[in-house]
Structure 1
């Protein structure tokens, strides 16, 4: 990692974690280093890279918030077979000390990344001559979008559903890089602040370079990543669609989802790209990525979680073994997700364990084109069922060979598709919460866990209550 990126990340982490009695009670000892970092246009790019790197780490979206903790809560894994470390988490026991440690680490990690985004906003927004106008807009646009993305996931984890409890106490929304204690807003105020940041980003990114290219047409996917492995204009619009859906604003969700699709900067999977030797297959369907995070170690993370390990003369079982995968995909060998994300030899989860890293750099999908089709199917259901069927069938046409179109659609059908689509990406649990649905475990004894704030709302970390008087 570039030394300047490391320095920037250290500044943000120290700034966040040094407090004992205040949110951010710290003096930045090395202002010279910070001024040097933001003294060149390249420094701003390195600062943004620092935020993306923090987000892509295993402590956040590289593992914990995707294929690990959040997918444990979604019950993708064998309830009776996962490792003891997840015993309390799988039962939604958030009062357990181990669970609280996990929750605190997530809280701190996300706010550290937010501090990084706020520091960029502070410097880029000041009256300086370092950045020309187009570059300044691009840098600020990405930083505002990242601040919104990070706060939104904190809202999804730590707040009750905005439709049910709009006036309930929410989270601190950190609008500046400084020493002040951010106020705690209501849930609906939190969500509006996310929208405000995204609207600002949308304006600033109006001339985003991605508007001039079609990343999916680029043979070199590393080149395409320069446009999608960062928060871009269409990532902002896609996130606005996601936020609107959670808010119950289906009109806005439809508007933004359609804008992303109609821009034609991304395309659904072409089966021709899957009918190739293993080293030529893009297992993550990168042409659909609207925003993703690069991390060369994703295969190590998935091997550590999902694969057994031979130790001497014995074998350690996988920490997080999948369950009922054949049932999830209806045993359909025509479903490209089923036959490509799981080994046909031994059933291992190979979605992130790719053998062709040079051609398809490992990355975690953050927002995909497929989600826009699912949003539209859900929003049109009951309003224009024909349109809803068209969107879900279009997606399935690019997932299942010889797909038989659904002529009847229910929310349960859509949720089945959501479960198939976001495996290993940390989105299913949020969908259950948004729709107030019970969660089916693989345990014959436990069965279905009924929906409630007990399983859908993380308690604010005790250390935050102690140091920030959040009670």
Structure 2
């Protein structure tokens, strides 16, 4: 009930806005004060933010296996549903596309408001929380605020390396009725770093510092450490941000801290040599931060599976294309053999009958990303070290893997494409590197890189109500 109440507050704040950013009377203030009157209330409030992020309108579906992966051209040009045609060709002015953008904008800022409300209440001089619990709550809230703003930057701003002084997005630092200022792109990114640095200090005593989740027999118990943002999730985000703004020294520093912490481990093949009901299909030992959602299976069936009835067959809305080519036809690549059905080619990564042992969750930051960051950062600086990181990752993906002795950025991108399928990360990599996007259509081929395909326009409704020029 408390989670539902907290999510209701966030929804009211964002969806009631007319001529001001937060033109709303805060509903049921007495109940809100009651929510934050106990330590459990703060945990419920955090759970509310995580729940909203895991919803199908955000990372449960839309910002992972649906909208963002469509832009990365994972799905067939010819077989894609009419609902997505304009989106797939980056027609952001289309009415349907505008609706998608507006919903994303509102959903993300709603979750940010939830984090800000926690920061507001936890920052008060009250005796509800002891010092360690207060630091933990604030650390998670600052980290979540940074995570959400970072993805808004990646969607709505030009690349920070190429257009640092360009107008960016509002960075919402307070919960309330004031209109957040708009910053430049480089200022936006620095605010993300500032929040993450605060979180890093606050989470110094995070429980994960004295635990190794992958060693726990119960994955449900392990999720208490990783199905939320934690200290190493903050460090991984700092590595991601370092790479985004071209600060490879910082990216290397934080990625190595995560890898060398030994709190996570790359896939052990022995865990995959079991019946499907026993396989950890999502490689959860590698999850630094993930979001639980028991309906992921339904979402992937809705998007990626054909619908067969007694009278008709509807093709999948988002059919994958050239999966064999993507994995080089290598049946020894466990991502190919386990994430896609060998019988009918269906995408089964999030739809495996192993729910008695493994809770469905969407990876938000994985150990494999740290290896890819290190391989990219060392490329051209120490090629042998770069190869060692990419080969280590592939050793835990491909049986009897033959090590690469030559590496290019294209190889790293192809490995990223294989690694992040269904997770909504590839399009951001194309944008960061200013690379053309290869389509599945021979007639269209490579779409040249430009802000036209890499930058979402500000939602028209935000402009019309006077929020932006």
Please indicate the TM-score interval, normalised by the length of the shorter structure: over 0.9
Give the equivalent residue in structure 2 for 1:25. 23
Which residue of 1 is the match for residue 406 of structure 2? 408
What are the residue-to-residue correspondences of 1:154-193 with 2, within 5 Å?
A: 154-193=152-191
Which consecutive residues of structure 2, in runs of 5 or more, have no partner in the other structure?
none
Superposed CA deviations along residues 117-157 of structure 1, whole A, max 9, x for unmatched, are 00000000111110000000000000000000000000000
Residue aligning to 2:342: 344
Measured in 1, the distance between the counterparts of 2:65 and 2:13 equals 29
Aligned to 1:427: 425
2-structure distance, mates of 1:309, 1:333: 27
Report the Cα offset of residue 293 of structure 1: 0.1
CA displacement at 1:312 relative to structure 2: 3.9
CA RMSD, aligned part only? 0.6
| Structure 1 residue 399, shift from structure 2 partner | 0.3
Report Cα offsets for 1:337-385 as digits up to 9, x if no partner.
Answer: 0000011111111000020112100000000000000000000000000
Q: Is the 8 A contact 1:235 1:290 kept in 2?
A: yes
User: Which residue of 2 is the match for residue 291 of structure 1?
Assistant: 289
1:35 to 24, 33, 37: 33
Query: Is the 1:433–1:451 contact (alpha carbons within 8 Å) kept by the matching residues of 2?
Result: yes
1:268 and 2:266 aligned: yes
Residue pair 1:23, 1:467 contacting (<8 A) in 2 also:
no
Q: How many residues align?
A: 469
- Counterpart Cα distance in 2 of 1:287 and 1:460: 38
3-state SS of the aligned residue for 1:230?
A: coil
Give the conservation status (yes or no) of the 8 Å contact 1:292–1:366.
yes
- Structure 2 distance, partners of 1:149, 1:189, is 15
Q: Secondary structure at the match of 2:146?
A: helix
SS of 1:292's equivalent? strand
Q: Deviation of residue 466 (structure 1)?
A: 1.5
Conserved in 2, the CA contact under 8 Å of 1:169 and 1:186?
yes
Task: Find runs of 4+ consecutive structure 1 residues off by over 2 angstroms.
Answer: none
Q: State the partner residue of 2:445.
A: 447
Q: Distance in 1 between matches of 2:266 and 2:354?
A: 21
Q: Which residue pairs with 1:129 in the alignment? A: 127
**Cα distance in 1 for residues equivalent to 2:79 and 2:95:** 22
Give the deviation of 1:278 after TM superposition.
1.1
- Provide, for residues 166-213 of structure 1, a one-character-per-residue CA deviation record: whole Å limited to 9, x for no partner: 000000000000100000000000000000000000000000000010
After TM superposition, give the deviation of residue 468 of structure 1 in Å: 3.5
TM-score with structure 1 length normalisation? Answer: 0.99
Counterpart contact for 1:20–1:467, Cα < 8 Å: yes
Deviations 1:434-470 (A, max 9, x none): 0000001011111110000000000000011122341
Q: TM-score, normalised by structure 2?
A: 0.99
Bigger shift: residues 285-294 or 437-446: 437-446
What is the CA–CA distance in structure 2 between the aligned matches of 1:167 and 1:278, rounded to whole Å?
50
1:82-121 alignment runs, 5 A limit: 82-121=80-119
Cross-structure match for 1:66: 64
Mapping of 1:364-403 within 5 angstroms? 364-403=362-401
In structure 2, what is the Cα distance between the partners aligned to 1:351 and 1:387? 31
1:258 positional shift: 0.1
CA distance in 1, matches of 2:113, 2:465: 18
Q: Distance in 2 between matches of 1:76 and 1:216?
A: 30
**What is aligned with 1:335?**
333
In structure 1, C-alpha distance between the alignment counterparts of 2:167 and 2:381, rounded to whole Å:
33
TM superposition shift of 1:160? 0.1
